[in-house]
């Protein structure tokens, strides 16, 4: 049976010092991506990605363009070694959706870099106005998570995989939600290292500002089907893409549903392209029968191609 492949791209939290360095050193063809990004951003992106400091790399307005650029540089390297491999669908978790849209040629690279930098700034500003955080609750089903949020004032931010619900809200709402979750059988509650209550209504100020920025750029119909975080369905219409990107900031991201939709559509193989292995782990927990590869350096690309020739 012919493999049906999806490329998926990581979101914020995947960043680490040293990311992209191997690809940069082994593929001169990706240098122009970093140079173009630095022209847009007006800071030394390479130094932050390759050397840190980690404290600065973690800033939302820095991490978001850094992850996008490294992801797209890794994609460029993959295409250099495997020009015949093309995906039947693309998707990304939160920020990763911008990488997916750029890979599908719906967004120009420079515009995507500028947008995610602005997006990060807007999210940081919204977090200062409406402070809060995010917590991952393990071992609960969706219905219980929804009830806990209703009672605590928290909101469901991410539906990542079976048994994992990420909630978002004020400090008080999260503390109450954790207490309720323990009463109802949650195995663990983990505070996430993020600077605000992302993917909740507390991010609405950022959502409004992002709409202004999106109205200034041209979005083209994607050349490859792109699955939206918000709808867990293909986004083809330009207006739809814009609306989904705006809503994505202050609504639940539906990663598990997005993966299941792609599988139902016939996808058998997922390539996580970019830093980290978060999506690979989530996809395996969603469906252990799937082929999942993590591609973040030269060795990963070569290993994938060797496996491909064997199968």
* Predicted confidence (pLDDT) at residue 265 exceeds the cutoff of 60: yes
Walk across the sheet containing 155-161 and list its strands. Answer: 155-161, 164-169, 133-138, 188-191
Q: Which of 168, 195, 199, 251 is catalytic?
A: 199
pLDDT band at 106 (very low <50, low <70, confident <90, very high): very high
Average pLDDT over residues 213-228: 97
Q: Is 199 a catalytic residue?
A: yes
* Predicted confidence (pLDDT) at residue 2 exceeds the cutoff of 80: no
Same domain as 118, residue 31? yes
Question: Of 147, 171, 191, at which residue does a domain stop?
Answer: 191
Average pLDDT over residues 137-157: 96
Q: Which domain holds residue 176?
A: 132-191
* Residue 66 φ then ψ, to 5°: -65, -45
Q: Is 251 a catalytic residue?
A: no
Give the residues across from 109 on adjacent strands. Answer: none
Neighbours of 146 (CB within 10 A): 14
Average pLDDT over residues 87-115: 98
In a domain, 196, yes or no: no
Same domain as 115, residue 82? yes
What Cα–Cα distance (Å) separates residue 44 from each residue in 39, 47, 51, 223, 246? 9, 6, 11, 31, 28
Same domain as 248, residue 171? no
Same domain as 113, residue 14? yes
Same domain as 206, residue 95? yes
In a domain, 144, yes or no: yes
Same domain as 211, residue 117? yes
| pLDDT for the residue numbered 310 | 52
Same domain as 238, residue 296? yes
Write out pLDDT tens, residues 56-65. Answer: 999 999 999 9
Write out pLDDT tens, residues 11-60. Answer: 999 999 999 999 999 999 999 999 999 999 999 999 999 999 999 999 99
∠ Cα 124 126 130 (to 5°): 120
Q: Which of 61, 71, 94, 280 is catalytic?
A: 94
Same domain as 121, residue 28? yes
Average pLDDT across the chain, whole number? 96
Are 15 and 98 in contact, with CB atoms under 8 Å apart? no
Same domain as 298, residue 179? no
Same domain as 205, residue 168? no
CATH code: domain of residue 150: 3.30.70.250
| pLDDT for the residue numbered 150 | 97
- Give the number of domains in the chain: 2
Same domain as 99, residue 233? yes
Specify the pTM. Answer: 0.96
Are 7 and 273 in contact, with CB atoms under 8 Å apart? yes
pLDDT band at 6 (very low <50, low <70, confident <90, very high): very high
Are 86 and 223 in contact, with CB atoms under 8 Å apart? no
Same domain as 110, residue 64? yes
CATH code: domain of residue 34: 3.40.366.10
């Amino acid at each position: 049976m012919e493999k049906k492949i999806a490329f998926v791209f990581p979101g914020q939290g995947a960043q680490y010092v040293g990311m992209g360095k191997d690809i940069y050193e082994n593929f001169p063809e990706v240098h122009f991506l970093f140079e173009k990004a630095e022209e847009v951003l007006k800071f030394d992106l390479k130094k932050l990605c390759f050397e840190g400091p980690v404290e600065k790399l973690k800033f939302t307005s820095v991490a978001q363009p850094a992850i996008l650029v490294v992801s797209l540089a890794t994609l460029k390297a993959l295409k250099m070694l495997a020009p015949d491999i093309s995906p039947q669908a693309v998707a990304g978790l939160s920020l990763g959706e911008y990488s997916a849209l750029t890979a599908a040629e719906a967004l120009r690279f420079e515009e995507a870099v500028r947008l995610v930098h602005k997006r990060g700034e807007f999210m940081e500003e919204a977090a200062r106005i409406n402070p809060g955080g995010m917590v991952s609750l393990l071992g609960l089903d969706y219905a219980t998570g929804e009830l806990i949020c209703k009672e605590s004032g928290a909101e469901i931010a991410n539906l990542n995989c079976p048994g994992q619900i990420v909630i978002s809200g004020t400090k008080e709402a999260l503390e109450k939600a954790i207490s309720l979750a323990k009463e109802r059988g949650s195995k663990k509650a983990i505070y996430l290292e993020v600077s605000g209550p992302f993917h909740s209504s507390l991010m609405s100020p950022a959502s409004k500002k992002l709409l202004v920025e999106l109205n200034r750029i041209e979005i083209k119909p994607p050349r490859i089907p792109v699955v939206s975080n918000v709808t867990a369905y293909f986004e083809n219409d330009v207006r739809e893409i814009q609306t989904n990107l705006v809503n994505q900031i202050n609504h639940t991201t539906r990663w598990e549903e997005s993966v299941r939709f792609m599988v139902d559509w016939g996808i058998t193989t997922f390539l996580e392209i970019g830093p980290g292995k978060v999506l690979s782990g989530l996809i395996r927990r969603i469906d252990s029968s799937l082929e999942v590869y993590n591609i973040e350096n030269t060795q990963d690309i070569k290993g994938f191609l060797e496996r491909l020739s064997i199968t």
